[in-house]
Chains A and B, each alone.
Chain A
Amino acid sequence: MSTLDTGERRRSGEHRPVITELIDEPTIQSIAEDAWTALVGEDEILVPLPGELPGDVLSSWVDVVGPWTGTVVLTTGRETAAGLTRALLGEHAPAELDEEDIADAFGEIANVVGGNVKAALPGPSALSLPDVGAAPAVRNPADLCRVDVLWRGEPLSISVQGALPALPVH
């Protein structure tokens, strides 16, 4: 390979953006705040401070497939996820919450946050149905934008992470 730059690489079609070129933490924070205000309660606040997640965590996520492909993942303690579920269900909350209630509510919050992140990214793109469980692994640490907040004092993280592995260095 010579060192002469013919522009071949630049001209050759797609540049594959990483998430940090497309969205930033304040935007994610703002999207989450809007979701919380509408779903959890008008006076709810998300404090942009990191906290230590407990051992028993639950994640919910949606996938975005398009010019940028990846996942919007919410992670918090299981107890906090239950608290979120109660807040969302309001007066309809049963005395005992079951796994299905939590998966539904926590999944729906991921759907709303994820849908709005998707709308902020270049399109056209598609959004998956939400899923709940153990957080999908980070495939490329350079393709990651994460916001850590405290909700009612409890830690919660919102991670927008790319699904494609890093391009090979050549």
Chain B
Amino acid sequence: MRALVIDDSRAMRRIVSGTLENLGFEVNQAGDGREGLDVLDGGYVPDLVTVDWNMPVMDGLQFVSAVRSNPAWRSMTIMMVTSESEHTQIVRALAAGAHEYVIKPFTADALRDKLALLGLLPQEVVL
């Protein structure tokens, strides 16, 4: 499973990437929506994209709209990462095409649970 983590905070990128790597994801990073699109344009098409809502250059909403307008990227699951004070914007993000959201601060377990529901856990094999 591949993931792309987009956040203008290096600390957040580190935390989210670390969590996803522990869950078995191969992770790439970007510092804003524009960079994120560049990564996708470069041919790296992840199963999961986590996008911070509030970023310079191109924010989460703009990124989601750009992604959803490209049929080649329709298979990606987009998870918005947002803070408590921005959370009433979440429905707008979902309407633009995001699939799920998580509110900071979130635990690794909370993220894992959402990924499990979405069927995105690489280890989601029942033996």
List A residues at the B interface (Cβ < 8 Å).
1-2, 4-6, 8-9, 12-14, 16, 63, 65, 69-71, 126-129, 136-137, 139, 163-165, 167-168, 170
Contact = CB atoms under 8 A, between A and B. Distances in A.
A164 B113 contact: no
Interface of A is mostly: loop
A139 B95 contact: yes
Interface of B: 87-88, 90-91, 94-95, 99-101, 109-110, 112-114, 116-119, 124-127
6 contacts: A6-B126, A6-B127, A8-B124, A63-B90, A126-B87, A127-B88
Contacts of B114: 14
Nearest to A1: B126
Contacts of B109: 13
B65 to A, nearest CB: 15
Contacts of A165: 94, 99
A9 B100 contact: no
Given A12-B116, A65-B87, A65-B88, A136 B100 contact: no
Nearest to A64: B91
A129 B92 CA distance: 13
B94 A8 contact: no
Contacts of A136: 91, 95
